[in-house]
A and B are shown apart, each in its own frame.
Chain A
Amino acid sequence: MGIISLEQTNRLYWLGRYSERVYTTIRLYSKCYDDMIDDIGDNYADFCRMLEIPNIYRDKEDFNQRYGFDETDPNSILSNLMRAYDNAVVLREEIGSETLSYIQLAIYAINKAKISRAPLLELQNVEDNILAFWGIADDFIESETIRNIIRTGKRVERIDLYARLKLGVKELKSELRRMHTRLVSSGMSYNKVCLDSLIALIEHIDETAEVDYAGIVKNVENLVLV
């Protein structure tokens, strides 16, 4: 039919954001988990601080279990995946059953990981399904607008996470360029002042200069008006 409503736009955008959040936080979580094997301090506390999520965990074992797999913890990877699903499941006719099925498969994989004796190994399957979801979304979804909205959500989330994690200006520059193109093509309303600020904060600075990460987070969070 070729038309999409504001609500669907909102859901497509957040599908992109949550799927990216799951993908990137799994990788961060795995790294954090790995560091804690060697008892390098309470890394999970730094992890929570950087992502600005409340440190509600008793100790690293509690963090390892709950941050990954506790559905009652709104910041857990599982909760974020369920939010991706909540958005995807109402978009079947926009994204297609095939595309949707990879989010469903990711849920099966994370539930399997939850009860596994080697959860980090099983989480690889969640990552794989998220990657397959993006791949098939690009391949299968005919509407360029829909693809651009999902991809804008994905890139916005990635900039947000990378800035919180202070990953460096090189990565941010690359993500900003890709996001900018998608955002303009998506037709979504956006805050021009925030976009200009992001360009100023990321694009126009030297890689050796100090980066205003807090400013980037603030502007990227307020960029898209959905």
Chain B
Amino acid sequence: MYEMDLLDNTEDVNRLLARYGVKFGIYKNNTFKEQLFPFDAIPRVIQKEEFDYLERGLKQRVMALNIFLDDIYHDKKIVRDQVIPEDFIFASSGYMPACEGVTPVKRIYAHISGIDLVKGKDGEWYILEDNLRVPSGASYPMIARELCRRSSPKTFRDNQLEDNRNYAQLLRRAMDTVNVEGHTVILTPGRYNAAYFEHSYLAEKTGAHLVNGSELTVENDRLFYVDYKGKKERVGAVYRRISDEYLDPMHFNPESVIGIPHIFDAYRKGNVALLNAPGNGIADDKGIYYFVPKMIRYYLGEEPVLSNAPTYLPFYEEDMAYVLAHFDSLVLKDVAEAGGYGVVFGSSMTKAQKADFIALLQREPRRFIAQEVIDFQDLEIQDAGSVVERKADLRAFVLMADEPQVWKSGLTRFSRSPDSFIVNSSQGGGFKDTWVLSH
């Protein structure tokens, strides 16, 4: 369905991506390095009907997660009704006591959600992970699409695709929906953050102002941007790309030098919107993931459209017994880790490693989840002049304005190693554009 020039020009597209600084940062041996994010021009193609189905499931999931966050920081009905054990809430590192009773503008918590999915060889889509804190990745397919249209105009003339370059408008709408009064800014920890390219690119494309903590100040529980003549301009919405713990040294990590003192006070009083809301970490905790289908039924009274990967919680005796009996066929994930770290396959451990791991699992059952290894579909990629198949996932983005809207594209990440299921850029993976057909 694509012209060969799309593939033939891959190197030129990658050259242009390098020119525009499409990179991610990585620390190796305590040294910061910028790496290019390899792009493969063979797209992931999703038919309209299939995406309609994904869209329904993604909206449903994010709606439920948003209600869950509101419930957890207010009434806690889901705990009282014993749908989720309290151990999974209050012991989670993502739960923030400071957010108790705090209601964000329009009760929106998950303004930008990145939901990771894979398509199994059985043709089913499975949710692997919910990212409701600061999910990144939308900028890469956006800019790749722009360049691929130049690389192969006929391909894009002959195919009816959803245009994914509208991500900036969707994001801007999400920011404007909750802006209380004043400017909209994107708060970055700085250029040594892994996703700095994305911060700056989205600022350019949304027309928001890219700022760091030192450029903002709080006075009388209101947030201001200080210009170069010392004039203070009110800020009404902050799309923050820094973690909760670094957001405000007066409330969270006192050693944070990238946060803004008292910004949490301004937020708590409704004088500024923070996207995403602080405290969202509880909703994308890998332990909570297990309960998302239950929360969809509980809050929405609906059956989940999209399935989780079959998951076990060693916290439950029955699940622990299953995990120990099927250890070699499972993948185990440390709930506190992200970015492809803390993921081990039972089958890849030596006897000694397995014994040590099981001892750890029995000591800290809350710390891990176990999942069946989904045999997910391979996608074609170009490798040294030939086409080979590699594992790939999809990060879909849901943006919440007055209602959730699913971006009709997504970041498809692939493993460059034939034996690996790990697709993260930090682990050497590459990316593809995701085409959603419009007819």
Contact = CB atoms under 8 A, between A and B. Distances in A.
A188 interface: yes
B207 interface: yes
Contact of A7 (B200, B207, B214, B231): B214
Contacts of B201: 92, 97
Interface stretch (B18-26, B311-319, B380-388): B18-26
Contact of B21 (A5, A6, A100, A187): A100
Nearest to A98: B20
Contacts of A8: 215, 228
Contact of A97 (B184, B204, B212): B204
Contact of A4 (B200, B207, B228): B228
B227 A3 contact: yes
A104 B200 contact: no
Interface residues of B, number: 29
A5 B228 contact: yes
A89 interface: yes
Given A89-B191, A92-B201, A1 B20 contact: no
Contacts of A89: 21, 191, 196, 200
B225 A3 contact: yes
B229 to A, nearest CB: 7
Interface string B378-403: 00000000000000000000000000
A92 B20 CA distance: 10
B12 interface: no
Which of under 10, 10 to 19, 20 to 34, or 35 or more describes the interface residues of A?
A: 20 to 34
Interface in A76-107: 86, 89-90, 92-93, 96-97, 100-101, 104-105
Contacts of A97: 20-21, 201, 204
A76 B18 CA distance: 24
Interface string A1-33: 101111111000000000000000000000000
24 contacts: A3-B227, A3-B231, A3-B233, A4-B228, A5-B215, A5-B225, A6-B228, A6-B230, A7-B214, A8-B215, A9-B228, A89-B191, A92-B200, A92-B210, A93-B200, A93-B208, A93-B209, A93-B210, A97-B201, A101-B21, A104-B20, A108-B18, A187-B228, A188-B228
Interface of B: 18-21, 183-184, 190-191, 196, 200-201, 203-204, 207-212, 214-215, 225-231, 233
